[in-house]
Amino acid sequence: MFSQNIPLTGKNILRYLKTNFTNWTSGNKKIDDFIQKGQLEIKNYYDDIVLEWIPYNQFNEIKETGKNSLITVYSAKWKDGPLYKKYNWSGNYTRDSNKKVALKCLHNSQESIDSLINEIKKYPTKYQAFQVLYGISQNPDTGDYILVQNSSINLENQISENSGNEKIDNFTQERQLEISNYDDVILEWIPYNKFNEIKETGKNDLITVYSAIWKDGPLHKKNKWDDYTRDSNKEVALKCLQKSQESIDSLINEIIKYPTKYQAFQVLYGISQNPVTGDYILVLMWTSGNEKIDDKCCHVAQNNQ
């Protein structure tokens, strides 16, 4: 038996979690086994996420923030909050009580537990990731399973702001799930109506470059312990790739050339599309408007990562 009065440290957290297995259940053996296995694999105690089964009655102030045919997203407060250890070198595990979270309700997910688990496996296991998955819950009325995540900002974008192209949407979402450090660039789909003061600054046979103000601005962290915020009214360059809609694979290959760190010389914030021409747009921190110079700068930036 593990006494609740004993402080939780890196030395005894695994013993506590194992002892606690008898105090909770999802009601589904596959889900229980998956969560328990993940908890026992924790190694980096201050950075590894303690994935949990979270009873639905742990949530307060539940408000719908977005919906499509596959998911419904809610904002909520988790009464107990996630179990975490802030510092590697000292301190005990504690709970971040009344934590604001996003509830990603997966419609009809109870029909295939294997598919649910495969979806969960896509998420990173580190607290420094952009999309942190704290745990799993279930709506008692519908039976739909719920992914409990760290922020509703990106989840709402997945619903209300997508490209309409499955390859592009999957690519941006996969890139976001790969983010594991606070200085990683958060690649986004950016609707064209988010730009103001659009002015042409250069043109050749392949591209047209514009300066613009991005109203929302990019998501970023100043340091690893800060929350993500937006740098609103950010001046950006719009690199419009002519006829890029004719080959999405070529577009994605072009995007892959860009570095993924904010410290890079050329930062690619996201992708947009001109609603009149259909041409896709790379939203950059800077561009010269000269294709040869841009390619060279991109190459230099990649080599300096």
Q: Using an 8 Å Cβ cutoff, are 289 and 240 in contact?
A: no
Residue the block writes with tokens 């896709």: 280
For residues 115 and 183, membership in a common domain is answered with: no
The token pair at 187 is: 């690649």
Q: Which residues contact 11 (CB under 8 A, 6 or more apart)?
A: none
For residues 148 and 26, membership in a common domain is answered with: yes
Report how far residue 26's alpha carbon sits from residue 54's, in angstroms, rounded to the nearest whole number: 8
For residues 127 and 24, membership in a common domain is answered with: yes
Which sign does the torsion angle of CA 195, 199, 202, 206 carry?
positive
Tens digit of pLDDT for each residue in 99-151? Answer: 999 999 999 999 999 999 999 998 888 877 888 899 999 999 999 999 999 87
Report how far residue 71's alpha carbon sits from residue 73's, in angstroms, rounded to the nearest whole number: 7
Question: What's the CATH code of the domain at 47?
Answer: 3.30.200.20
Amino acid at the residue 237: A
Residue 303 has pLDDT above 90, yes or no: no
Last residue of a domain, one of 159, 183, 212: 159
pLDDT attached to residue 46: 67
For residues 100 and 221, membership in a common domain is answered with: no
Q: Using an 8 Å Cβ cutoff, are 174 and 257 in contact?
A: no
* Domain count along the chain: 2
Domain that holds residue 299: 165-303
* Residue 6 located in a structural domain: no
Residue 229 has pLDDT above 50, yes or no: yes
Q: Which residues contact 287 (CB under 8 A, 6 or more apart)?
A: 209, 237, 239, 266, 294
For residues 22 and 148, membership in a common domain is answered with: yes
* Residue 7 located in a structural domain: no
For residues 264 and 178, membership in a common domain is answered with: yes
Residue 51 has pLDDT above 80, yes or no: yes
For residues 62 and 190, membership in a common domain is answered with: no
Confidence bin at 173 (pLDDT 50/70/90):
confident
Q: Using an 8 Å Cβ cutoff, are 202 and 194 in contact?
A: no
For residues 18 and 155, membership in a common domain is answered with: yes
Last residue of a domain, one of 159, 186, 203: 159
For residues 36 and 90, membership in a common domain is answered with: yes
> Has this prediction a pTM greater than 0.85?
no
Last residue of a domain, one of 159, 187, 215: 159
* Residue 5 located in a structural domain: no
* Residue 193 located in a structural domain: yes
